[in-house]
Structure 1
Amino acid sequence: MATPKFSNVKHSFHSELKKRINQYFQQTGKKSTGGVALSLKAILLVSAFIFMYIHLVFFTPPVFWAIVECVIFAGSIAAIGFNIMHDGAHGSFSKYKWVNELAAFSLEVLGGSSFMWNMKHNVIHHAYTNIDGIDDDIDIQPWMRMSSTQPKYGFHKYQHRYFWVLYAMLYVLWVFVLDFQKYFKQRVGSMPLKKMSFYDHLVFWGFKLLYVFLFIGLPIYEVGFISWLVGFLITTLVAGFVISIVFQLAHTVEHTHFPMPDAETGKLDDEWAIHQLKTTANFAPRNRVISWFVGGLNFQIEHHLFPKISHIHYPAISKIIKQTCAEYDVPYIEYPKMIHAVASHVSFLKQMGRAA
Structure 2
Amino acid sequence: MAPTQSPSTASEGRLPMSPDAAPVRGSEYAVLLRRMRHAGLLDRQLRYYLRKSAVIGGAFVAGWAAFFFIGNSWWQLGTAIFLAAVFAQIAFLGHDAGHRQIFGTRRANYLFGVIAGNLGIGLSIGWWTSNHNRHHAHPNTEGADPDIMGVLAHSSGRARASQSIRRLIFRYQAWLFFPMLLLEAGSLHFSSVRAVLRWSIPNRVWEGVLLAAHAAGYLAAVFLVLSPAKAVAFIVVQQGLFGLYMGCTFAPNHKGMAVLEEGDSTDFLRRQVLTSRNVRGSRLVDTAMGGLNYQIEHHLFPSMPRPNLPRAQPIVAEFCAEIDVPYCETSLLGSYVDALSHLHAVGQHTRPAQEVGSNVRA
Query: What's the TM-score once normalised by structure 2's chain length?
Result: 0.83
SS at match of 2:153: coil
Structure 1 residues 69 and 184: alpha-carbon distance in aligned structure 2, compared to 1, 3 A threshold: closer
How do 1:29-68 residues align onto structure 2 when only pairs under 5 Å count? 32-57=43-68, 59-60=70-71, 62-64=73-75, 66-68=76-78
Residue 233 of structure 2, aligned match among 230, 235, 238 = 230
SS at match of 1:179: helix
Tell me if the contact between 1:281 and 1:301 (Cα under 8 Å) persists in the aligned partners.
yes
Residue 345 of structure 2, aligned match among 334, 339, 351 = 351
Using the TM superposition, name which of 211-220 and 124-133 deviates more: 211-220
CA distance in 1, matches of 2:169, 2:124: 32
Please name the residue that 2:15 is paired with: none
Please name the residue that 2:318 is paired with: 323
Structure 1 residues 19 and 147: alpha-carbon distance in aligned structure 2, compared to 1, 3 A threshold: same
CA RMSD of aligned residues (A): 2.1
Tell me if the contact between 2:154 and 2:346 (Cα under 8 Å) persists in the aligned partners.
yes
Tell me if the contact between 2:254 and 2:275 (Cα under 8 Å) persists in the aligned partners.
yes
1:117-168, CA deviations, whole angstroms, 9 ceiling, x for partnerless residues?
Answer: 111002x011011112211111223xx3222231342442221111112111
Runs of 4+ in 1 over 6 A off after TM superposition: none
Note the C-alpha offset of 1:340.
0.8
Note the C-alpha offset of 1:93.
1.2
1:49-83, CA deviations, whole angstroms, 9 ceiling, x for partnerless residues?
Answer: 1221232145427424x22221111001001111x
Q: Per residue, is there more helix in 1 or in 2?
A: 2
Residue 136 of structure 2, aligned match among 122, 126, 141 = 126
Asked if 1:116 is matched to 2:127, the reply is: yes
Tell me if the contact between 1:125 and 1:136 (Cα under 8 Å) persists in the aligned partners.
yes
Residue 19 of structure 1, aligned match among 27, 30, 34 = 34
CA distance in 1, matches of 2:66, 2:246: 24
Tell me if the contact between 2:169 and 2:176 (Cα under 8 Å) persists in the aligned partners.
no
Residue 86 of structure 2, aligned match among 76, 82, 89 = 76
Asked if 1:93 is matched to 2:102, the reply is: yes
CA distance in 1, matches of 2:169, 2:106: 47
Please name the residue that 1:292 is paired with: 287
Note the C-alpha offset of 1:10.
5.6
Please name the residue that 2:309 is paired with: 314
Please name the residue that 1:340 is paired with: 334
Please name the residue that 1:170 is paired with: 184
How do 1:215-254 residues align onto structure 2 when only pairs under 5 Å count? 215-253=218-256
Note the C-alpha offset of 1:272.
1.1
Please name the residue that 2:209 is paired with: 206
Tell me if the contact between 1:58 and 1:222 (Cα under 8 Å) persists in the aligned partners.
no
- Name the % identity: 21
Tell me if the contact between 1:34 and 1:93 (Cα under 8 Å) persists in the aligned partners.
yes
Note the C-alpha offset of 1:208.
2.4
Note the C-alpha offset of 1:97.
4.6
Note the C-alpha offset of 1:271.
0.4
Residue 157 of structure 2, aligned match among 133, 149, 163 = 149
Note the C-alpha offset of 1:7.
6.3
SS at match of 2:278: strand
Tell me if the contact between 1:7 and 1:272 (Cα under 8 Å) persists in the aligned partners.
no
CA distance in 2, matches of 1:77, 1:181: 21
Please name the residue that 2:6 is paired with: none
CA distance in 2, matches of 1:343, 1:210: 40
Residue 300 of structure 2, aligned match among 286, 298, 305 = 305
Please name the residue that 2:192 is paired with: 179
CA distance in 1, matches of 2:86, 2:236: 15
Partner AA of 1:157 in structure 2: R
Structure 1 residues 149 and 34: alpha-carbon distance in aligned structure 2, compared to 1, 3 A threshold: farther
Structure 1 residues 11 and 236: alpha-carbon distance in aligned structure 2, compared to 1, 3 A threshold: closer
Residue 9 of structure 1, aligned match among 4, 24, 29 = 24
Any stretches of 5+ residues in structure 1 without a counterpart?
Answer: 1-5, 187-194
1:151-192, CA deviations, whole angstroms, 9 ceiling, x for partnerless residues?
Answer: 3424422211111121111111211x2224444553xxxxxx
Partner AA of 2:269 in structure 1: A
Any stretches of 5+ residues in structure 2 without a counterpart?
Answer: 1-20, 351-362
Please name the residue that 1:270 is paired with: 266
Tell me if the contact between 1:113 and 1:204 (Cα under 8 Å) persists in the aligned partners.
yes
Residue 159 of structure 1, aligned match among 156, 160, 173 = 173
Note the C-alpha offset of 1:319.
0.7
